[in-house]
Structure 1
């Protein structure tokens, strides 16, 4: 049952990445579903999970994300997805999640800027990098997949 829940999380991450890549929007229902699946995972996990620490990480990421949103550094959907996945990452995998997300985001930004410049190379005026939209939900989902891998690994390959 626990693996089915983790598989559902993977499907939701893929849906978030797809929606952001296609429409530059992450539906609220995806983030809500990710959050609501977490208590179910607590009940089915093969070992105890300190949900207090996971909740604390979630709240910290949400507060930090809200500040980023108010400063127009990140979009609301990106912040909600980041917080929802941080609930799953918890204290053990939050660093892996954030670092992977940052690396994937940097790679995605370079790719998007390059593709945009290739498409617009006939423009008289060069395109400012700030004007290139980045579907950062794709990078957040990539970080989420890596965190999820670490959650699934002990179940699939017990010592």
Structure 2
């Protein structure tokens, strides 16, 4: 059972990393990633022994994060895939990791935006132009910010504080 629980919990960082990479190279986060996170959460939570009320609190946070993500999407601050990934990550992390998730995601988003401004500058853009097409697209002035990368960084940083990781420690 311990191996199954660990395997199920590993779905979370694996899909987050796939989402970040897809967002960086294509500015899209496929729906299957967020749906996969949503579908994998209940068996992972049950496998590590989270009580049903705690699972309900995780779900409540996921819904709250989805509403916040939809508002940010409506304001054109985030893409739709980013909003769904943000909600799916919040579902997995729960309330105990929510503050660190939000804080690190904001800091990573700011660092990402500053990095993109730098490579989109008149001085650095010519150096990037000989790179792969996805890097050229990132360096294109006026392009979007692949915020899925920041969401991934924030979620991975907050993961140790989540009940899922604490549950794995208890099983070990």
What interval of TM-score do these two structures reach, taking the shorter chain for normalisation? 0.7 to 0.9
| TM superposition score normalised by structure 2 | 0.80
Out of 47, 55, 59, the position equivalent to 2:59 is 55
What SS does the aligned partner of 1:131 have?
Answer: coil
Out of 23, 26, 45, the position equivalent to 1:23 is 26
Name 1:88's counterpart in structure 2.
92
Out of 14, 18, 22, the position equivalent to 2:17 is 14
- The superposition leaves residues 35-78 of structure 1 with CA deviations (integer Å, 9 ceiling, x where unpaired) of 11110112201453611111111111111211111121211000
Tell me by how many angstroms 1:7 deviates: 1.1
More deviation, 12-21/140-149: 140-149
Gap change, CA 1:39 and 1:142, over 3 Å in 2: same
Tell me by how many angstroms 1:133 deviates: 2.2
Name 2:107's counterpart in structure 1.
103
Gap change, CA 1:69 and 1:47, over 3 Å in 2: closer
Out of 79, 83, 98, the position equivalent to 1:75 is 79
User: 1: CA distance between counterparts of 2:107 and 2:143?
Assistant: 18
Name 2:45's counterpart in structure 1.
42
Structure 2, unaligned runs of 5 or more: 128-140
| TM superposition score normalised by structure 1 | 0.86
Name 1:133's counterpart in structure 2.
144
Structure 1, unaligned runs of 5 or more: 122-129
